[in-house]
Amino acid sequence: MSDRMLDLLAALDAAVGVSGDERLVADVVTRELDGHYDEHDTDALGNHFFTRRGGDGAPTVMLCAHMDELGFIVQHIEDEGFVRIAPVGYHDPRMVIDQDLAIHGTKGAVAGITGAKPAHVLPPDEAKQAIPMDQLHVDVGTTSRAETEALGVRVGDLATFARTGLALNGTKVFSGKAVDDRAGCAVMIEAMRRLGDSPAATVVGVAAVQEELGIRGAGPAAARVRPDVGIAIDVTLCGDTPGIEFSRLPISLGKGPAIKYFDWAPDAGYGSAVPRHLTDQLERAADAAGVAYQREVLMGGATDAWGIANSGVLSGCISVPSRYIHSAVGCVHLEDVEGCVQLLVAFIDDVGKNGIG
Ligand SMILES: [Zn+2]
């Protein structure tokens, strides 16, 4: 199973889908789900809906993974050819310096590197600070604006980290530029593939847009589908690397999917308090499937579960543990991805047979 999951994750991670233009990711999702849905629809925002019908009167479960990834947008091209970029989504500026970028221009991907003033010439105070995004530039090797424009780069073009995802040294740890949330997309796709022709519940797989811009796609998607329950599938942070106080992020890579109990993004005022009857049912499903899981209480982030709940729909979240979130090198464990799939397939079966709660 891991090779198939690795191939799926790699294909999804390679697709380019900065928040606001998720079309190429939607193409991959649609291709990978071929033959595993009865209806396929889209809405005005670009959300995609793949419906697999259960029997008459069967409850509806919505699975929601966001297609968009963090990226950049070209804001200006300097006379000397350098490209100035603005962040799309929440970037940690420390993670953006010294990176290879791909600017997705009218003539295809343009290679660029993020540069900044060298430490040698900085005053000591400034040398100790992270370099703010607005002081970065992208060097595409040109010497004039005309030359840069001739490469097909224009204001408004989107850019991503240029990095090919891989399983590190033959392990089951996959590192990619967009595991947030292509890992969730992989879970949604693989869960739908395993439903068979007549699942116990009707399942609507939603590939959602614009999560990274403030959870903008999932709410309207839930309002359209009106499911009995909506489950967001997203990554969550791990605290199992050196130097992190584990008690603040008590989730480990490779120890199974995380069942969300609570999260909170204080700056945005977003978060989820998942109703206990739903966490109970998710845990029952995990136990029935023999899937080890972790319980998640996350401070500092939120997911599409907030958007779904905000539309008046019962919602919860299954998280794929991830290291190095919101960087070019995010990691997930293939067995955690597999565990999420098995948990959700068991949950769908339970909801179909026993209802919610
Ligand atoms: Zn995410």
Q: State in Å: Cα 66 to ligand 1 middle.
A: 7
> Which two tokens mark 222?
């839930």
Separate counts of helices (H) and strands (E) for the chain: 9, 18
Structural Rg of the chain based on CA atoms:
21
- Which pLDDT value is given to residue 344? 98
- Which pLDDT value is given to residue 222? 98
- Which pLDDT value is given to residue 297? 97
- Which pLDDT value is given to residue 1? 52
Distance CA 64, CA 47 (A): 10
Exactly one of 22, 190, 211, 212 is catalytic; name it.
Answer: 211
Q: Across 7-118, where does the E strand assignment appear?
A: 39-42, 48-52, 60-66, 71-77, 83-88, 100-105, 108-115
Hey, what's the torsion of the CAs at 125, 131, 132, 134, to 10 degrees?
A: 120
Distance CA 120, CA 52 (A): 60
Options 3.40.50.300, 2.40.30.40, 3.30.300.30, 3.40.30.120; CATH of 71-161: 2.40.30.40
Residue matched to tokens 């605290």: 239
Enter the DSSP assignment of 58. -
Q: Does residue 211 carry a catalytic annotation?
A: yes
Distance CA 111, CA 104 (A): 9
Asked, colleague to colleague, whether 2-69+178-354 and 71-161 share their fold, the answer is no
Q: State in Å: Cα 304 to ligand 1 middle.
A: 8
Q: Across 238-329, where does the E strand assignment appear?
A: 258-265, 270-273, 294-299, 315-323
Q: State in Å: Cα 184 to ligand 1 middle.
A: 8
Distance CA 278, CA 82 (A): 51
Distance CA 200, CA 134 (A): 52
pLDDT averages per 10-residue partition of the chain, 357 residues = 88 98 98 98 98 96 98 97 95 85 97 86 81 88 98 98 96 97 98 94 98 96 98 97 93 98 92 97 98 97 96 98 94 98 98 94
Q: What is the pTM of this model?
A: 0.96
Distance CA 305, CA 309 (A): 6
Q: State in Å: Cα 211 to ligand 1 middle.
A: 7
Distance CA 146, CA 152 (A): 10
Where in the chain are the domains? 2-69+178-354, 71-161
CB 330 within 8 A of CB 241: no
Distance CA 325, CA 237 (A): 7
CB 333 within 8 A of CB 253: yes
- Which pLDDT value is given to residue 36? 97
* Backbone φ and ψ of 20, nearest 5°: 105, -20
CB 206 within 8 A of CB 64: yes
Q: Which fold does the domain 2-69+178-354 belong to in CATH?
A: Aminopeptidase (3.40.630)
Q: State in Å: Cα 163 to ligand 1 middle.
A: 18
**291 Cβ neighbours under 8 A, 6+ residues apart:** 256, 257, 339, 342, 343, 346
Residue matched to tokens 């490469």: 151
> Which two tokens mark 245?
């106080």
